[in-house]
Structure 1
Amino acid sequence: MTQATRVRHVEPSVAAVADDAARRFVELVASTTAELHVAVSGGSVATKVLPAFVVEMARAGLDWTRVHVWFADERFVPTGHDDRNVVAVADALKGAAGFEQARLHATLASDSGETLDDAAVAYEAELRALVPPADGVPGGIPSLDLVLLGAGGDGHTASLFPGTAGLETAAALVESIRDSPKPPPERVTLTLPAIREAARVWAVVTGAEKAAAVRLASTEGVTAEESPLGAATGRLETLLLLDAGAAEALG
């Protein structure tokens, strides 16, 4: 499958990066009358970027009635735990006009009575049931309209970590993680094939502590095992949205 070439955009501050991403999101929503399926990660995506989306959507006079929100990854901890990405994401979307809780597609929590593997299987089944494939053929791989990612200083994105073999050849769209190098150890994550099937992948990366990871991700020929961030690309568009700190190691 052909993937879109990564394009970098650099803004002077974290706030400016969030505002830039928000303007792009508004353009995406305004460009179609179809339902949109958007997967998000936690961290600054939830606490800074999504709030900017809500503000910019309101400014543009657009509502969220057609937007489904999914999770690029989630921590397998109890319902309501602060480590759950859904907690911060739900908080960010409280002011989103027209957004319905039924369109916030959370993974099963550790107190659901289901196992970690069950949570991954159930989430993939929900994706396949609700997200149409790019070619429209029933039974095809679901194609999210947008995957909105962050990244760590080690180059991980979603819960895909450097040094993990087989990232590009994962058979599942959603996998369970039991030994995340970053706590908590148990997680559910979209796999690289699921991310790469998305129409658009935007990675929002800020902070000088991530500059080396950004440089590696931007290096020609880098492997998924070396840099999951570098391998996270979309079919139609791949954006790396950076602040000045994260971009400081680029030539």
Structure 2
Amino acid sequence: MTVEREIVTGTDAADAARLTAERFVRFATERGLVEPREDAPAETHIAVSGGSVATSVMPAIVAAADGAGVDWSHVHVWFADERFVPRGHDDRNAAAVASVLRGAKGFVPTHLHSTLSSEIGVSLDEAAAAYERELRVNVPPRSRTPGALPSLDLVLLGAGPDGHTASLFPGRDPEAIAGRVVVAVADSPKPPPERVTLTFDAIDAAQRVWAIVTGEGKAEALRVALTPGVDARTSPLGAVRGTDETLFVVDEAARTALAD
């Protein structure tokens, strides 16, 4: 069964971040991260992307979560994608996210799962393979079906003006990475060229997928993504789905190309 996509609209990017943060608090409460319950999951696994998700949305989430009393000690944070550059490089998504999480009450630093970086002597393919192994070891699937993929509890995605999300770009054959959890991207059209990314299948195995899309420059990408029947080759953003929830948090500027 296909989960219907929900669209929530804020007035601007800051308001969209606020709405995402409020939604996260509800999610955390349901997971027993505010008031512990005996039946609450032992761990919660979320994945985040870079860009404005890392620099604007995550700070809003941490502030709202701390205000609500969320216990971050049971939360593991992964990356929807990462740039294969040296640790500490400005292009690394991990730097911005780690900085934000230092202020999250109870967050355990070892629960931030970053990909291997380029300066330690591993290849791009080795970094992708290592990240996939780590995900498979730590994130359980939702079913016992042989070959079932790890099921993250929540994936937070951004989008580019071309409709890419994570490091999944238009014009590429999704069947070439079918069944994989993580792949190396050696020729990203957006610099830096080398990246490690979750695949469509890995994102679609997540229970909740939230895409935060703001700004007039993303309006056409949002319109295409929400076009019925759009495929992954045309719009990676439009192809991703969560098993339980698919949410688009947008602002008024990004909605300008949508029909009323």
Moved more, 175-184 or 52-61: 52-61
Worse overlay, 25-34 or 219-228 = 25-34
| TM-score (normalizing by structure 1) | 0.97
CA distance in structure 2 between the partners assigned to 1:94 and 1:137 by the alignment: 37
Which region of structure 1 is more displaced relative to structure 2, 81-90 or 31-40?
A: 31-40
Equivalent residues in 2 for 1:26-175, closer than 5 Å: 26-32=25-31, 33-34=40-41, 35-136=43-144, 140-166=148-174, 170-175=178-183
- 1:152-200: per-residue Cα shift (whole Å, max 9, x none)? 0000000000001125852311000000000000000000000000000
- Alpha-carbon distance in 1 for matches of 2:176, 2:27: 28
Matched, 1:24 2:23: yes
Kept after mapping to 2: 8 A contact 1:168/1:192: no
- The reply to whether residue 210 of structure 1 matches residue 209 of structure 2 is no
Compute the RMSD of aligned alpha carbons: 1.3
The change in CA–CA distance for 1:63 and 1:168 in structure 2 (over 3 A counts) is farther
* Structure 2 unmatched ranges of 5 or more: 32-39
Tell me the distance in 1 between the aligned counterparts of 2:94 and 2:70: 23
Is the contact between residue 177 and residue 183 of structure 2 (CA under 8 Å) also seen in structure 1? no
Contact 1:217 1:230 in 2 (8 A): yes
| Residues 136 and 171 (structure 1), Cα distance of their counterparts in 2 relative to 1, 3 Å cut | closer
Q: Which AA in structure 1 matches 2:97?
A: V
CA distance in 2, matches of 1:178, 1:42: 18
Return the alpha-carbon distance in structure 2 between the equivalents of residues 27 and 138 of structure 1.
32
- 2:251 paired with 1:243: yes
In structure 1, C-alpha distance between the alignment counterparts of 2:69 and 2:146, rounded to whole Å: 34
Partner amino acid for 1:196? Answer: D
Change (3 A) 1:171 1:140: closer
The verdict on how the C-alpha distance between 1:79 and 1:19 changes in structure 2, with shifts beyond 3 A counting, is same
Aligned equivalent of 2:35: none
The alignment status of 1:180 with 2:188, answered yes or no, reads yes
Contact persistence 1:144–1:197 (CA under 8 A): yes
Does the residue aligned with 1:59 lie in a helix, a strand or coil? helix
Shift in Å at residue 4 of structure 1? Answer: 1.5
Q: Cα–Cα, structure 1 residues 217 and 31, in superposed 2: closer, same or farther, change >3 Å? A: same
The change in CA–CA distance for 1:167 and 1:18 in structure 2 (over 3 A counts) is farther
Q: State how far apart, in whole Å, the 2-side matches of 1:137 and 1:171 are.
A: 14
Q: Do the aligned residues in 2 keep the contact of 1:67 with 1:99 (CA within 8 Å)?
A: yes
Report how many aligned residue pairs link the two structures: 250
Q: TM-score, normalised by structure 2?
A: 0.93
> Gaps spanning 5+ residues in structure 1: where?
none
Partner SS, residue 70 of structure 1: strand
| Greater helix fraction, Structure 1 or Structure 2 | 2
Following TM superposition, by how much is the alpha carbon of 1:68 offset from its aligned partner in structure 2, in angstroms?
A: 0.4
Q: Which residue of 1 aligns with 2:37?
A: none
